[in-house]
Amino acid sequence: MNEFELIEKYFSFKPEVTPALDTGVVLGVGDDACVLNISQGQQLVVSVDTLIADVHFPADAPADRVATRALSVCLSDLAAMGAKAKWFTLALTLPGTNAVWLEVFSRSLAQTAARYRCHLVGGDTTRGPLSITLQVMGEVRAEEAFTRSRAEPGDSVYVTGCLGDAAAALAVLQDKLRVAETDRQYLLSRYYFPEVRFAEAGKIRGIAKTAIDISDGLIADLGHICKQSQVGAIVDVTCLPYSENLQNCSTEKQREDWALTGGDDYELCFTVSAEKRKLIDEMTLSGSLQAMAIGKITQGDKVQCYRQDQLLENSRGGYMHFCNAE
Ligand code: ADP
Ligand code: MG
């Protein structure tokens, strides 16, 4: 199979690209470049991620997991900007043409893309050590993108969903945590197939001031908001949200550490001004938004954790220093 046959066979997701779906795709895979229509009044939001075999995932990982996780993690950056997913490109470096791997990879990629209504519009295919570069593109109404730089003292800090599941899954995979089968299934699916928080981002658009997706643990990622907004934050660890499954199989201290410093949850952390807090709390009370108030933005430049009123000591090399984590 030559390069062109390979692209035609595996990466020409043509059924998705029909004018009726209003995809904005004027020209997709197959020409020198794609041509895209940007909707009126919208701004283009772009992000790119590269995943290298045996650096970011085991080279022998199942291709469906690799594809789904790669696209989901990449799309999470669009959700964290408040953008709607529209298009993506795929630069794929392959050691050879393994038809089974390509079949499974491309099918899972197509399924994940369809689920989030994101269309493959081009890419590049080369030979070499396995690596996957995904560039995602989305749209956001002009001036409405969430940034990391607008948090102010007095704002409330929220997170969506539950924290710590992915770090617990990693402990399970490394044989450091023994769990019941149902909890195991749940934790691993949270790790391998993170749900991109587009729905939640849509609900907080126009209300939240800043947002970030939690890929490196709450302290580090809230730290990025603090650094770029030139503020500090306090987190009440008793408010951290945990799944029932995680509570079944961990001590409070363990899950607290996973939530604060473990990565890969891909929930959103966002800040809301005191005046707009009511709007978020109404949605969480009615059940239309799963989010938890976990702290406040303060003056200063540190992320500090409290248990009720007691400041937590830097038990693991210092939570307080994480706000400077790059
Ligand atoms: P060029 O030589 O002009 O760069 P390529 O042979 O790299 O063209 O690609 C031909 C077409 O196939 C282009 O439209 C490109 O966007 C698309 N393409 C190449 N590789 C991929 C891929 N892995 N996934 C999706 N589209 C791809
Ligand atoms: Mg090319």
Confidence label for 3 from pLDDT (cuts 50, 70 and 90): confident
**Closest residue CA from atom 18 of ligand 1:** 123
Ligand nearest to the CA of 3: 1
Separation of CA 230 from chain center = 24
For the chain, counts of helices (H) and of strands (E): 10, 13
pLDDT per residue over 286-307, tens digit each? 999 999 999 999 999 999 999 9
Q: How far is the CA of 120 from the centre of ligand 1 (A)?
A: 11
pTM, 2 dp: 0.92
* H/E stretch holding 74: helix 63-80
Q: What gap in Å lies between CA 178 and CA 17, rounded to an integer?
A: 45
Closest residue by CA, ligand 1 atom 8 = 32
Ligand whose nearest atom lies closest to the CA of 102: 1
Distance 122 CA to ligand 2 centre (A): 9
**Confidence category of residue 320, pLDDT binned at 50, 70, 90:** very low
Q: What is the mean pLDDT of the chain?
A: 92
Site residues for ligand 1, CB cut-off 6 Å: 3, 7, 11, 29-32, 90, 92, 120, 122-125
> Which residue's CA is minimally distant from atom 20 of ligand 1?
124
Q: Compute the distance from residue 89 Cα to the ligand 1 centre, in Å.
A: 9
Q: What angle do CA 157, 42, 211 make, to 5 degrees?
A: 10
CA distances from 304 to 238, 267, 270, 319 (A): 13, 20, 17, 7
Which whole number is the average pLDDT over 100-126? 96
Condensed to tens digits (0 to 9), the pLDDT of residues 50-68 reads: 999 999 999 999 999 999 9
C-alpha 115 – ligand 1 centre gap (Å): 23
- One-letter amino acid at 193 equals F
φ/ψ of 117, rounded to 5, equals 50, 50
Which of 9, 124, 126, 131 maximizes ligand 1 atoms within 8 Å of its Cβ, making it the mutation to test the pocket? 124
C-alpha 133/C-alpha 70 separation (Å) is 9
Three-state DSSP class for 313? Answer: coil
Task: Give the three-class secondary structure for 57.
Answer: strand
Nearest ligand to residue 119 Cα: 1
Say how many Å lie between the CA of residue 27 and the centre of ligand 1: 12
pLDDT score at 221: 96
Report the nearest-CA residue for atom 12 of ligand 1: 30
| pLDDT above 90 (res 19) | no
Which pLDDT value is given to residue 21? 65
| pLDDT greater than 70 at residue 316 | no
pLDDT tens column, 219-272: 999 999 999 999 999 999 999 999 999 999 999 999 999 999 998 999 999 999
pLDDT tens digits for range 147-204: 999 999 999 999 999 999 999 999 999 999 999 999 999 999 999 999 999 999 999 9
The encoded tokens of residue 119 equal: 């269309």
Work out which ligand 1 atom sits closest to the CA atom of 92. Answer: 23
Q: Which ligand has the nearest atom to the CA of 110?
A: 1
